[in-house]
A and B are shown apart, each in its own frame.
Chain A
């Protein structure tokens, strides 16, 4: 499956990878005890195959190149990186699926909630349900789910009737404290 070489890689040695008779592909180069490669140029699939094939066993184990702060073998480093890449890909897929669901959903028709209907006139309740619905829809479409949840709560709390109620209460409290 892989091109294996028991000899330790020398400085400037290219690391090759061949897969099922495909042309050999230079994926990385060892220089000064470090594996140099272009992350963007390598596909994730290639890197997965690299790890599977244990190509990096070509490296002299004694070299122990440093990656980042801690001393780490190249293989461990690549494996850790692949886990992160897979996690990022999974997140991206979930985001894309969510965006597809949003764009595929029919235009929002928001029925005013019962509370709004009791507090506003029917026309006002419908208006705000539609306006706030569009606001929340855009946040969700932008992937700002947390903000959408927060805003939904704040819209309810910031409703004018509540502001009026609180203002009245504050006024009453002041009056009760200093009756004149």
Chain B
């Protein structure tokens, strides 16, 4: 029996990881995640927090002049190297399914 088993991630968590992998700028903020992953805000922020606590994500506040931009700064999340590795592993089944449907599809 294996002493260490990688924890099983929920479907919602895998969707968040996929959004982070797919982001062209490699950075996403909370509202983007809720929209792209189709999750409720409650789930999305809880997942982002958990992933950050696990060290799979890092975050930073957007550096803008809020008064000039007319909106508050966003908090951006980015996958760490470990996070990217985990995200690719966790989303592999879905990517595999896509590969079988679209042979030319290449993941980043």
Interface residues of A (CB under 8 A from B): 103, 106-108, 127-128, 130-135, 137-139, 141, 150-151, 154-160, 163
B72 within 8 A of A: yes
Residue in contact with B71 in the complex, picked from A127, A137, A151, A155, CB distance below 8 Å: A137
- Total number of B residues with any Cβ neighbor in A under 8 Å: 21
**Can you list 8 A-B contacts with CB-CB less than 8 angstroms, sorted by A residue number?**
A131-B45, A134-B72, A135-B31, A137-B72, A139-B31, A141-B71, A160-B46, A160-B49
B75 within 8 A of A: yes
- Asked if A155 and B45 make an inter-chain contact with CB atoms under 8 angstroms apart, the answer reads yes
Q: Which of A127, A134, A163 has the most CB of B within 10 A?
A: A134
- B10-54 CB mask vs A (1 if < 8 Å, else 0) is 000000000000000000011100100000111111100110000
B70 within 8 A of A: yes
- Asked if B70 and A135 make an inter-chain contact with CB atoms under 8 angstroms apart, the answer reads no
List, in ascending order, chain B residues with CB within 8 A of A106's CB.
67
B55 within 8 A of A: no
Shortest C-beta distance, B33 to chain A (Å), equals 10
Number of A-B contacts (CB under 8 A): 64
Shortest C-beta distance, B47 to chain A (Å), equals 9
List, in ascending order, chain B residues with CB within 8 A of A141's CB.
71
Residue in contact with B42 in the complex, picked from A127, A138, A155, CB distance below 8 Å: A155
List, in ascending order, chain B residues with CB within 8 A of A150's CB.
40
- Asked if B70 and A103 make an inter-chain contact with CB atoms under 8 angstroms apart, the answer reads yes
List, in ascending order, chain A residues with CB within 8 A of B45's CB.
128, 131-132, 155, 158
With both beta carbons as reference points, the residue of chain B lying nearest to A137 in the complex is identified as B72
Shortest C-beta distance, A58 to chain B (Å), equals 51
List, in ascending order, chain B residues with CB within 8 A of A139's CB.
31
- Asked if B43 and A134 make an inter-chain contact with CB atoms under 8 angstroms apart, the answer reads no
List, in ascending order, chain A residues with CB within 8 A of B49's CB.
128, 160
Shortest C-beta distance, B67 to chain A (Å), equals 6
Contacts A134-B74, A137-B71 given; indicate if A107 touches B40 (C-beta within 8 A).
Answer: no
With both beta carbons as reference points, the residue of chain B lying nearest to A110 in the complex is identified as B72
- Asked if B75 and A163 make an inter-chain contact with CB atoms under 8 angstroms apart, the answer reads no
B96 within 8 A of A: no
Q: Which of B30, B66, B72 has the most CB of A within 10 A?
A: B72
- Asked if B46 and A163 make an inter-chain contact with CB atoms under 8 angstroms apart, the answer reads yes
**Bound state CA distance, A108 and B72, in angstroms?**
6
- Asked if B40 and A151 make an inter-chain contact with CB atoms under 8 angstroms apart, the answer reads yes
With both beta carbons as reference points, the residue of chain B lying nearest to A105 in the complex is identified as B70
List, in ascending order, chain B residues with CB within 8 A of A108's CB.
66, 72
Shortest C-beta distance, B40 to chain A (Å), equals 5
**Bound state CA distance, A80 and B96, in angstroms?**
56
- B63-97 CB mask vs A (1 if < 8 Å, else 0) is 00011001111110000000000000000000000
